[in-house]
Structure 1
Amino acid sequence: MSASKPQAQVARIVTANALIEGDVVYLAADGTWTRLLPRAQVFTDKDAAEAALAAASRRQAEVVGCYLAEVRVTAQGPEPLHFREDFRRRGPSNYAHGKQSAA
């Protein structure tokens, strides 16, 4: 029998879109919404992540489309594991404006 590798712990963040501006936002540890991914609260406990998601989803006057996104934790903070999340944080893709025009 071959020994199986231990599975890496999955880290998650709560993300959504700001209701008025539509910007991608992340739930910070202090309960506020931040547009900066490095300031997002990282959850390694699945139950805690789901509880935070449930609470965030009730904040309908602030955000829409809340969900959990998987991240890897780096020295610079959380980094998206999925292409979609990396793409979302860069802004609209139809033409250069907003965040893209500043890059």
Structure 2
Amino acid sequence: MARAFAPKVVTANDLLEGDVIYLTADDRWSRDLREAELITDEAHAQLRLLDAQRQVDKIVGAYLADAVAGENGPEPTHFREDFRRTGPSNYAHGKQETSPQPRA
């Protein structure tokens, strides 16, 4: 029996700056996971991923990441994605100063 499809977001890295970015419902790339399109249909998720992977002039490494609907938008379900959205962990700078920190 096949597993039920878990909701996803399309994520990648900005080609020039390297930041983690998320595809929004209106076809923008955002550095804020809360703005990402939460995709609940598997076929739609695959189409959105294909669209993203064609944007080789903007992004690199696009993939589908599990997420759930949160109070303020999509939230990660895996610690890796929670960690990615806060950026490098060597010291607080950039988005780490303004983003929620990963759960312990």
- For the aligned pair, the TM-score class normalised by the smaller chain equals 0.7 to 0.9
| Equivalent-residue separation in structure 1 for 2:90 and 2:71 (angstroms) | 32
Could you tell me whether the CA contact under 8 Å between 2:38 and 2:68 is conserved in 1? no
Gaps of 5+ in 1: 1-6
Q: Which letter maps to 1:39?
A: E
How do residues 74-89 of structure 1 correspond to structure 2 at under 5 angstroms?
74-89=70-85
Task: Report the number of matched residues.
Answer: 97
| Equivalent-residue separation in structure 1 for 2:56 and 2:50 (angstroms) | 11
The equivalent of 1:53 in structure 2 is: 49
| Equivalent-residue separation in structure 1 for 2:71 and 2:4 (angstroms) | 17
Report % sequence identity.
53
C-alpha deviation, 1:101, in angstroms? 4.3
1:95 pairs with 2:91: yes
Secondary structure at the counterpart of residue 51 of structure 2? helix
Greater Rg by CA: 1
Runs of 4+ deviating beyond 4 Å: none
- When the two chains are superposed, the root-mean-square deviation of aligned CA atoms in Å is 1.6
| Equivalent-residue separation in structure 2 for 1:37 and 1:50 (angstroms) | 19
Could you tell me whether the CA contact under 8 Å between 2:23 and 2:29 is conserved in 1? yes
Q: TM-score, normalised by structure 1?
A: 0.86
| Equivalent-residue separation in structure 2 for 1:72 and 1:65 (angstroms) | 21
Q: TM-score, normalised by structure 2?
A: 0.85
C-alpha deviation, 1:97, in angstroms? 2.4
The equivalent of 1:30 in structure 2 is: 26
Gaps of 5+ in 2: 100-104
